[in-house]
Amino acid sequence: MKYKRWTLDQKLEILSIADDIGIVEACRKYSVSTGTFYSWKKKFEHNGEAGLKVTYDTKSKELKESEEENRVLRKLLSDREIELEVQRELLKKNLGRQIQERFSRRYIQQTRV
């Protein structure tokens, strides 16, 4: 069975209709389980409409924001690692060239003597 997300207005409508036609009939009409209905009823009795408000939107928004931030940070980290690797390679080449130049200068100086 497909999971359905109910809006605040839909929940309030189902709760009010259940008072008129009965809980079982309202649950059948809207395809809501009685457990879900009683959960909504309990939340509504304790907290009013605030208890029935949909909270998954804010959580999913926060999750999306943190995933986006995570993606950006990973990209920055990988770019920095690439830059460091390029710098290491350049240092190896430059140091290798400098060492070769030093040894070749010494060799030339030694052979001239």
Domain residue ranges in the chain: 1-53
The pLDDT confidence band at residue 88, using thresholds 50, 70 and 90, is confident
105 HSE (CA, 13 A, CB side): 6
Q: Please, which residues have CB within 8 angstroms of residue 11's CB and are 6 or more apart in sequence?
A: 40, 44, 52
Tokens standing for 6? 């109910």
The pLDDT confidence band at residue 75, using thresholds 50, 70 and 90, is very high
pLDDT at residue 1 is higher than 60: no
For 68, counting Cβ atoms within 10 Å of its Cβ (0-12 exposed, 13-18 middle, 19+ buried), the class is: exposed
pLDDT at 22: 92
* Residue 28 or residue 104, greater confidence: 28
The pLDDT confidence band at residue 93, using thresholds 50, 70 and 90, is confident
Tokens standing for 37? 């209905």
Q: Rounded to an integer, what distance in angstroms lies between the CA atom of residue 79 and that of residue 87?
A: 12
Task: Round the average pLDDT of the chain to a whole number and report it.
Answer: 84
pTM: predicted TM-score of the whole model, two decimal places: 0.47
Question: Cβ atoms within 10 A of the Cβ of 79, count?
Answer: 10
Q: Rounded to an integer, what distance in angstroms lies between the CA atom of residue 47 and that of residue 13?
A: 17
List, for residues 23-68, the tens digit of each pLDDT value.
999 999 999 999 999 999 999 999 888 888 876 666 678 888 999 9
Question: Do residues 36 and 7 touch, judged by C-beta distance below 8 A?
Answer: no
Amino acid at 6: W
